[in-house]
Amino acid sequence: MITLITGTPGSSKTLNAIDLVLNDPAFQDRAVYVYNIELLEPGKALGWQTLDLEQAQTWYELPHGAIIILDECQDLFPPEKFGNKVSEHIRRLNTHRHLGIDLVLITQHPKLIDTKVRRLVGQHLHFKRQFGLQSATRFTFQECADDPNDYFAQKAATKTRKRFNKKLFGLYKSAEVHTHKRKIPWMVWALLVLIIVTGYTIYSVVSNFGQSDSVSSPGPTPDNITTQANNAPGQPAPVRREGQPLTREQYLEQWSPRVKGIPHSAPVYDQVYEVRDFPRPQCLLRERNDQCRCYTQQATPLEVPEEQCRQIVAHGYWDPTREPPQGKGTGNPQGSNSTQANSAHERNMEALRIRVQTQAMNY
């Protein structure tokens, strides 16, 4: 079989050709001949033999079953002009299998060798090394790919990552393997900087958008202050922006009473809830059990300390909301009306005292 190995200088073509011959089971225990490869002492110790140009051109005269590695094979099989007589060492490639000989051809690109040679290739290995790494990408084709760098050709190939076998560096002299230092191209650095700058820009825009949204929110207005005052002592009613519906949590919060058991303490009633009066204590002292109780003018019980309750029963309390009585001869035309109003208030309070006393007796 003819195996073609291609790749740019420094892509580890020769290294992988030697690795293939040493480790492929099909190449074991066979004589190996190399052309254009300078073997070092460890390589010579393998028993491999070096060919000159004349010997390489008469490769078909080598022993049957030999393995022949021809580096820079474009020197042996350059493209021939159409109509010219086919060279003997090229014509003999048609029957290389009859001799049991396997050839490994190494060149930089398939089009550097003659078309007739390319058509006889049974396996094409193309290596691509990037950034000076100690590995290369291997594309395996089942026949010669005239353009192994073509996108669609590489998609159809078998793609593997091949690490360099460093143990083989001492077998031969190769400048292309040892002089390539790891180097990341400037485009990779530029892309990295672009990603960082883009991420920072997006973060800044989002952060500034949130801050501007907070600053642009309207400040407190008299209506808002009134609403917050009405919401005391609980939390203020949830505020929603114009045109936006309430969320489920905001809706439930509006209908939740601030004081348990008093439904009208919910924030939803803040706009219709208005204080019209305040509790005025009416206190009674029961002689039977010597207990003092206080009630509002609506006959609802008040929580008043015992000592204070007794003080109210004994001395009363000052009510700053009551109007003072109008004396006779003051010349005030409304004095009569005020006196009548106070009398009516006294009567109402007396009726309330009787009602509270009745409830207290039942207590």
115-165, pLDDT tens digit by residue? 999 999 999 999 998 877 778 999 999 999 999 999 999 999 999 998 888
- What is this structure's pTM? 0.51
pLDDT for 64 beyond 60: yes
Identify the three-state secondary structure at position 226.
helix
For residues 183-188, give the mean pLDDT: 65
Q: What does the alpha-carbon distance between residue 44 and residue 218 come to, in Å, rounded to a whole number?
A: 88
Burial (CB < 10 A; 0-12, 13-18, 19+), residue 214, is exposed
User: 343 or 219: whose pLDDT is higher?
Assistant: 343
Could you report the per-residue pLDDT of 277-332, keeping only the tens digit for each? 888 888 988 888 888 999 998 889 989 999 999 999 888 888 888 888 765 544 45
Q: Domains in the chain and their CATH numbers?
A: 2-178 (3.40.50.300), 228-276 (no CATH), 282-319+340-362 (no CATH)
